[in-house]
Amino acid sequence: MGKKIFIFFLVAIFCLCSGSLFAKKYRFNYSSFFPPTHIQSKLAEAWCKEVEKRTNGNVKIYFYPGQTLTKAAQCYDGVISGMSDIGMSCLLYTRGRFPLMDFINLPFGNPSGEFATAIINEVYEKFKPKELSQVKVLYLHAHGPGFIHLKKRAVHKLEDLKGLKIRCPGSVADTLKSLGATPVAMPMPEVYQALQKGVVEGAVYPMETNKGWKMAEVIKYSIANYKIAYSVGFFVVMNKKKWESLPKEYQDIIDQIDIEWAKKHGRAWDKSDFEGIRYTLSKGNTIIGIDEKEADKWAKKVRVVFDSYVEMTKKKGLPGDKVLNYLEKRLKDYREGRFKSKYVD
């Protein structure tokens, strides 16, 4: 009898100590369009490993960068349909689908990736737009100041932009039109060749792209007009059914990791902007600053874009005006040194 009790005791201890061996395992795939060497890919892969670590290996996520699972523009639908369980891509690659969140693409004078990442998450949490209701939003992030970059022509004045064919994502086209340029919609993976072959004469993107996507090899000038700097929002979303299949314990763990990783993405965008600046200068390229008086002319021209956003969202019954008021308030906080957010350390 004593031997049986002893064996039962050992089995009980073993089960208590190694319960994770018998826990249900969850396996998911994650699609991203960023190339594997890009910092945003590296962060996404690190997120996968962190989830696995904190769930004791019970949630494992296989990461597929470089459009190997779904193309950039199909990533969101791929998550909804179950082609991928998790996806990261650009909101603008499906223009018109995320009307309220289009605020992040406006030329509001984006000061940094940290600010843009914080504000896009804050707006999502505050306004809960239905346009993102088909998925579980894990977190959002957004790049630093977006500028115009050109292959051959130096631009110093507004008039210099007239008629130039410039690649842009989605609704950033409206900003280029208001400045007199000719926008050409195109996802980032196609831009290098388009510049190389002369399909477009320039492109809009943040400074980091000069290194992260090697654009410094095919452009000569970057036009650093901070007064009309925009951003682009990126989603990290999960198939709803797959999310709901997870125990609440794991959901809570992932929710916490998401906040930590949104902050990492914001910081990474800013750090990589500086690396992009150094890289493009090392290639002999020129960064052109726009003086304040001239920059004010550009800012006046793009005001129509904000009006169009408010009108568009109003027609759809969306609070675009309230989003812009919130954005302006948070920009003021930032400029006056009192900006605080759970998405910024």
Q: Give the start-to-end residue ranges of the domains of the chain.
A: 25-142+232-272, 146-231+286-335
Per-residue pLDDT of 158-204, as tens digits, reads 999 999 999 998 889 999 999 999 999 988 899 999 999 999 999 99
Identify the pLDDT of residue 14: 46
CATH number for region 146-231+286-335? 3.40.190.170
Radius of gyration of the chain (CA): 23
Q: How far apart are CA 90 and CA 75, in angstroms?
A: 9
What whole-number distance in Å separates Cα of residue 10 and Cα of residue 7? 5
Q: State the distance between the two ends of the chain, measured CA to CA, in whole angstroms.
A: 60
Superfamily of domain 25-142+232-272 in CATH is Bacterial extracellular solute-binding protein, family 7 (3.40.190.170)
User: What pLDDT, on the 0 to 100 scale, is given for residue 93?
Assistant: 87
Q: pLDDT at position 177, please?
A: 97
> Do the domains 146-231+286-335 and 25-142+232-272 match in fold?
yes
Residue 17 confidence class, pLDDT cut points 50, 70, 90: very low
Average pLDDT (126-144) is 98
332 or 2: which leads in pLDDT: 332
Residue 7: predicted pLDDT: 47
For residue 2, the model assigns a pLDDT of: 52
| Mean pLDDT for the chain overall | 93
Q: What is the band of 20 on the pLDDT scale with cuts at 50, 70, 90? A: very low
- pLDDT at residue 22, rounded to an integer: 61
With contact defined as beta carbons under 8 Å apart, do 138 and 214 qualify? no
Longest CA–CA separation in the chain, Å: 96
